Amino acid sequence: MTAETMSIFSPKVAARFDALVEKYPVRRSALVPMLLYAQDEIGYLSDAVIAEVAQRIGITELDVRNVATYYSMLRFKPAGKYNVQVCTNISCMLRGAYDVFEKFQEELGIGHKGVTSDGVFSLEEVECIGACCWAPAIQVNYDFHDDLTPESVSGILAQYRQKSEGQNNA
Amino acid sequence: MADVTFTVDGKKLTAPAGTLLIEACRKAGIEIPAFCYYPGLSLQAACRMCVVRQEKVPKLQTACTTTVAEGQVFTTDSPEIAQARKATIELLLGNHPLDCPVCDAGGECELQDMTFKYGAGESLMVDAKRHREEQQWSPAVFYDRPRCILCYRCTRVCGEGMDVWALGVQNRGVTSVISPDGGDQLDCEQCGMCIDICPVGALTSGSYRYKTRPWEMNHVSTVCTHCADGCKVTLGIRQSTNGAEIIRADNRDKSGINGDFLCAKGRFGFDFVENPERLTAPLVRNHEGKLEPTTWEHAFRVAGAKLKEIRDTRGGAAIGVIGSNRTTNEENYLLQKFARTVLRTSNIDHERTTDYVSFARAMAGHPGKSASLRDISAAPAILLIGGDPTAEHPLLAWTIRTNVRLNRARLYVANETQIKLERQAKAALRLPAGGYASLTKFLSRTDSKINDPAFRDALLAEENLVVIFGAEFRGSGVDELVNWGLSRPNVRFAYLGDYSNSRGAADMGLLPDRLPGYVPVSTHDAFADEYPGMPHTIGLNQPQMLSSAAGGSLQALLIIGANPLEIDTFDPASLKGKFVVVTDMFLTQTAAVADVVFPAASLYEKTGTVTNTYGDIQLVRKAADTPGIKPDFEILVKLAASMDTNVKSLVPFGKTGVKVDLGQSRGAQMGEADRHAIWLTAQGLEPRVSPFDPLAILDEIERLVPSYKLDRVNLFGGNDIHTEPGFVPVSALTSSGPDVVRPSHNGLFTSGTLGRYSKGIADLQRHQAEVKQEAVAG
């Protein structure tokens, strides 16, 4: 991609993409990592993201969508500022993950894949996040919270709400 | 590869090593069911229907991905395998609706057949089926997700086969859907291949859906009337209140030169037959100057009397005849014979889209050098010069792509602009504007204007080459290129024209200077016995005829299935006072100025033969019928009769007709005519051939046109028969002049005047324009 081409990504991510597409024997191998980085920066895979990724790799937008829609971690609508991912796979389930998940739904007033009206939180039921030793566990963006009970839910949410307000006031 | 021997169900089979087991079995008559496997497309192994037991292998194997090797032992039918297949079908039916009684595919559905065979009609599933609303992706393509069994045939034929890549698979597992490239719209070539290849009723055709059931139609295989590739097409016909109606066109009969292929025009462009603007009664201009419907008898009387009067008072040279690119060989032959022997004029021509005369001249005396479409499908190397086959010759493009994909053929493209087929090319040469003229010199190493020695070296290293070119080369340009090729071993040629029987029109002598078989009209003894009284002067070509009619000595024009006034920058008013007779399906610009208009049959409503641009002759069979029309053949015979001509001198028929061939020369049928004759005599009957049977004249064509040596058994069996462009070695030649040749450059959704009357094609054209516009607007 030439320097003068407009990119929707930050210079840092754009530079990373420039390197990524050259890294593999076949350009389209860079597709999945690019989508993950793009989602981290933009928040979700918007039409503009898909168009630019397709153009950078030299495949059609349909090709990008074919791959992207396969993966449940890639999303096409904005998530909340803090995306709460509750694991309900076997270890967590046996240790009460569904109670935790229900508590989150109650507290936030949203269901699976929902986003709160203020856009601060979103909630997802996800497959194993690799924290079985400390089940039940959740992941909020890239942070883990483990060994939970329904009682710990309010505390976690308060912590992030505070963080969000702090950032807004700053 | 070397042959190997292996055992299937106790039978010893032999096949080349590496053959797919499913193919080897099918060749040996052992049926292995499969949904996702499709010959010629990449392997998917998704449907699990083709599972077989291989000895010493613990699990069932998919026959579509197993290659055969020496000594293997397979079982393809056992209770275990039947159970596995039944379970597969049961899973597929988990979400597949059982709406067979209303589904388009019902009766020709592979899933339905397999369910009947393996008996998985009862389901143990208790969950509700997932439902999604049906989607319309284009005027041609509808998608019904619940019926889809995710075999991926459509995505593969679209991508690999058509090189369009407009279909993809999104989401995963049970939520997977086939999705089009334009969001909820298809932005593609609208060929409809995905509909045809779908084993179930998930993809349905806009022109056919919910109209009928497969078993309610008669299926007639004939030849497409649109471009010059001559695809064999199967028309689904149903009785209607006014004759027989065409319901759909597909390639159910995969035996033709096109195999699986049909383009948008072939598949959806048949509906002009049903156009309400269709002429269904002859029109004669009345004393108020208006065209008025009348009877056939009256129209023939008016046309015949006036043409006869002009011929007898002003001479045949005062009459001009313009033929069609879409009528059959028999009609074209009859038309020129009618012009030369009845009207006694040499003024006969047709709308020439390419210069077949020069091609025939260049190829004369070099048998075996012209490439049929089947040759192209197997050629190890192809040089494609100019044109854009993807749009103008869809079957040629498909054939080349398939050859490159399956046989690793090497394609060389030389073009002034970038064309889509370059994606398949081993090397592409970009020519400067007007560079076709110097290409031959470049290839023979005498020109320095084009500088791409790597392209030339690679091309000249090819030991076996097919050269495909079109109207960019005319006159001496054709000679130079062909001579370059003839100077090398194993080079064959294909020359591209534009309409379904453009080649046949030239072969049959719809030319002012050429008789059938490209025999020069000025040769004094040519056809002397056959065409008594024929003029040997060279006549006027089409532009000359029109300008002569406007100002000069031409008094009458007979125009058969052509619309020259559309193409010419010509003032129709200048034909005032001239006698114009037109046969056409519609009131075209030309028909509108005529004095007599005869409503003609389309190619789908008559029998005969056509020749595609590669010289492959195929049989056209009458499929539909519209009341009030006649084939051009019958119109010409009756027009001749109305001029007091002895029809027997024009068309051989009847027992006493000296020229009639009742089948003695028909190969496998030899002796049959004699047996018939004995029986008929014993019954006190006379053998008769109708003067309106176009095949009665095929014998005469065969006798007079040396290149039309037809294998009747194959022709009537529906196979294509290759002909050479002509072996008349002529040195002295009149040049037809490059201005006479006007390529039409019809694209995927245009087809000359005829295309304007097809709603199906018009809808697709509009859809594609809208999709493109949306894409630009973002």
Count of structural domains, chain B: 3
The range of the structural domain enclosing residue B148 comes to 110-205
Q: What are phi and psi of B504, to 5 degrees?
A: -65, -35
A63 chain-B contacts, CB cut-off 8 A: 165, 168
For residue B434, being part of any structural domain is answered with: yes
Burial of B575 (0-12, 13-18, 19+ CB in 10 A): buried
Rounded distance between C-alpha atoms, residue B723 and residue B700, angstroms: 16
Q: What is the pLDDT of residue B734?
A: 54
Which chain B residues touch A if contact means CB-CB below 8 Å? 165-172, 179-181
- Closest partner residue to B171 (CB to CB) among A60, A63, A70 is A70
Q: Does one domain contain both B35 and B131?
A: no
Determine the 3-state secondary structure of B27 from DSSP.
helix
For residue B123, being part of any structural domain is answered with: yes
Preceding peptide of A136 cis, ω within 30°: yes
State which residues of chain A have pLDDT below 70. Answer: 1-5, 170
For residue B156, being part of any structural domain is answered with: yes
**At a CB cut-off of 8 Å and minimum separation 6, what does B540 contact?**
B320, B346, B347, B349, B512, B548, B554
A102/B contact by beta carbon, under 8 A = no
Whether residue B361 contacts residue B642, with contact meaning beta carbons closer than 8 Å, is answered with no
Q: Does one domain contain both B361 and B487?
A: yes
Q: What is the pLDDT of residue B658?
A: 41
Contact assignment for B171 to A65 by CB distance below 8 Å: no
CA nearest to B440, candidates B474, B486, B412, B482: B482
Nearest chain B alpha carbon to A72 = B171
Q: What is the pLDDT of residue B685?
A: 59
Q: What is the pLDDT of residue B739?
A: 67
For residue B299, being part of any structural domain is answered with: no
Would you say the C-alpha torsion B402, B176, B170, B194 has a positive or negative sign?
positive
Q: What is the pLDDT of residue B350?
A: 95
Residues in chain B: 778
DSSP structural state of residue B650? H
* Beta-bridge partners for B73: B7
Distance from CA of A151 to the nearest CA of B (A): 36
Burial of A95 (0-12, 13-18, 19+ CB in 10 A): middle
B180 chain-A contacts, CB cut-off 8 A: 62
Q: Does one domain contain both B34 and B137?
A: no
Q: Does one domain contain both B426 and B475?
A: yes
For residue B189, being part of any structural domain is answered with: yes
State which residues of chain B have pLDDT below 70. Answer: 568, 653-689, 726-739, 778
Q: What are phi and psi of B345, to 5 degrees?
A: -130, 155
Render pLDDT for A111-132 as a digit per residue (tens, 0 to 9): 999 999 999 999 999 999 999 9
Q: Does one domain contain both B22 and B133?
A: no
**What is the CA angle B287-B289-B290, rounded to 5?**
110
CATH number at residue B49: 3.10.20.740
Q: Does one domain contain both B87 and B115?
A: no
Domain boundary among B470, B496, B522: B496
Q: What is the pLDDT of residue A166?
A: 85
Q: Does one domain contain both B367 and B488?
A: yes
Q: What is the pLDDT of residue B729?
A: 56
Rounded distance between C-alpha atoms, residue A78 and residue B210, angstroms: 41
| Mutation choice for B interface testing from A28, A52, A62 by most B CBs within 10 A | A62
Q: Does one domain contain both B158 and B198?
A: yes
Distance from CA of A13 to the nearest CA of B (A): 25
Q: What is the pLDDT of residue B728?
A: 60
Q: Does one domain contain both B379 and B473?
A: yes
Q: What is the pLDDT of residue B119?
A: 84
Start-to-end Cα distance in chain A: 37
Domain boundary among B186, B205, B224: B205
B170 chain-A contacts, CB cut-off 8 A: 65-66, 69-70
Start-to-end Cα distance in chain B: 52
Share of chain A above pLDDT 90, in %: 91
Residue listed under structure tokens 């613990």: B58
Q: Does one domain contain both B486 and B398?
A: yes
Q: What is the pLDDT of residue B680?
A: 60
Enter the pTM of the model: 0.91
Q: Does one domain contain both B117 and B174?
A: yes
DSSP structural state of residue B630? B
Contact assignment for B165 to A65 by CB distance below 8 Å: no
Rounded distance between C-alpha atoms, residue B680 and residue B676, angstroms: 6
Q: What is the pLDDT of residue B552?
A: 81
Domain boundary among B178, B205, B232: B205
For residue B452, being part of any structural domain is answered with: yes
Q: What is the pLDDT of residue B122?
A: 78
Q: Does one domain contain both B402 and B432?
A: yes
A66 chain-B contacts, CB cut-off 8 A: 168-170, 179
For residue B40, being part of any structural domain is answered with: yes
Residue listed under structure tokens 């048949």: B270
Partner B, chain A 26-65, Cβ-Cβ below 8 Å: 60-63, 65
For residue B485, being part of any structural domain is answered with: yes
Helix spans in B651-723 (H): 672-682, 698-704, 712-716
CATH number at residue B413: 3.40.228.10
CA nearest to B608, candidates B498, B701, B495: B701
